Amino acid sequence: MSRIFITGSAQGIGAECARQLLAAGHEVVLHARNARRASTALAANPTASAVVAGELADMCSTRALAAAAQAAGPFDVIIHNAGVGGGNGDRTETVDGLERIFQINVVAPYILTCLMPLAPRMVYLTSGLEANGHWAADDLQWNSRDWDSMQAYSDSKLHDSMLSLELAARHPESVINVVDPGWIRTQLGGPDAWDSVEDGAESQVWLATSHEAVATTTGQYVKRREVLEPNPITQDAEARAALVAELERVTRLRLP
């Protein structure tokens, strides 16, 4: 039996991951962005060990979340599931003055990784759209480029893959992988997506619990239990180091 922390587990893929893990007898700590959604999370998975709240679009709140989650640990597995889609909206900034998609999808998991002990197994969520992500080292927050919300989302998922693989390279003592869950029928994926939420959670649950060779190998890009080739920029150590350096500058935190 493992103790597992899942970010963004009030609904969608995160809630389904929790459901499957709880059904298998594991202990799960949920996360929601506020108290109201925390109640929703517990209603969906009432046998969860705890639920912690924290807004990922706010660095102070994300830091407090890290402390609350750490107090609910230690964890055998951490699944960085939370994220926001591109939609069709205008570029917006958070209370911290950061581009919103970049902060929620990239900065927030970086902060949590910096402030919480590494678990023996770590899973980060990306998207198949990371294949379309652009590495724009001098404009990660779309300050100078013409805004494109879906491209910004694709870029953020590329950054998640880069962060995961950089962490795996630095910490071979943990099993750290990045997962493409597929195009899933959730609020983020939309009603036209072709895969069920059960399918979207399956690989993360497997990586969290299986003793099969792929599930216990680090530094991989996984979809449906299969190791795939990610965006080539993820293999560029200099680019990964540059991303980490920018995240360190923005957050004033260093990776463990």
Q: pLDDT tens digit string along 17-51?
A: 999 999 999 999 999 999 999 999 999 999 999 99
- Asked if the structure places residue 224 within a domain, the reply is yes
Residue 81 has pLDDT above 60, yes or no: yes
Give the Cα separation of 252 and 198 in Å (integer): 37
Of the pLDDT bands very low, low, confident and very high (cuts 50, 70, 90), residue 66 is very high
- Asked if the structure places residue 150 within a domain, the reply is yes
CATH number at residue 216: 3.40.50.720
Of the pLDDT bands very low, low, confident and very high (cuts 50, 70, 90), residue 256 is confident
- Asked if the structure places residue 72 within a domain, the reply is yes
pTM: 0.96
pLDDT of amino acid 93: 98
* Closest to 255 measured CA to CA, from 162, 54, 116, 149: 116
DSSP β-bridge partners for residue 247: none
**Residue ranges making up the domain that contains 136:** 3-251
- Asked if the structure places residue 83 within a domain, the reply is yes
pLDDT digits (tens, 9 = 90+) for 161-173: 999 999 999 999 9
Identify the active-site residue in 124, 157, 221, 223.
157
Mean pLDDT (the chain) is 95
> How many distinct structural domains can be found in the chain?
1
Of the pLDDT bands very low, low, confident and very high (cuts 50, 70, 90), residue 89 is confident
157 noted as active-site residue: yes
Average confidence (pLDDT) over 198-223:
96
- Asked if the structure places residue 43 within a domain, the reply is yes
Phi-psi map region of 87: left, alpha, beta (phi>0 left; psi -120 to 50 alpha)? left
- Asked if the structure places residue 63 within a domain, the reply is yes
- Asked if the structure places residue 111 within a domain, the reply is yes
Identify the active-site residue in 110, 124, 153, 221.
153
153 noted as active-site residue: yes
Residue 150 has pLDDT above 80, yes or no: yes
pLDDT digits (tens, 9 = 90+) for 186-210: 666 566 655 788 989 999 999 999 9
- Asked if the structure places residue 256 within a domain, the reply is no
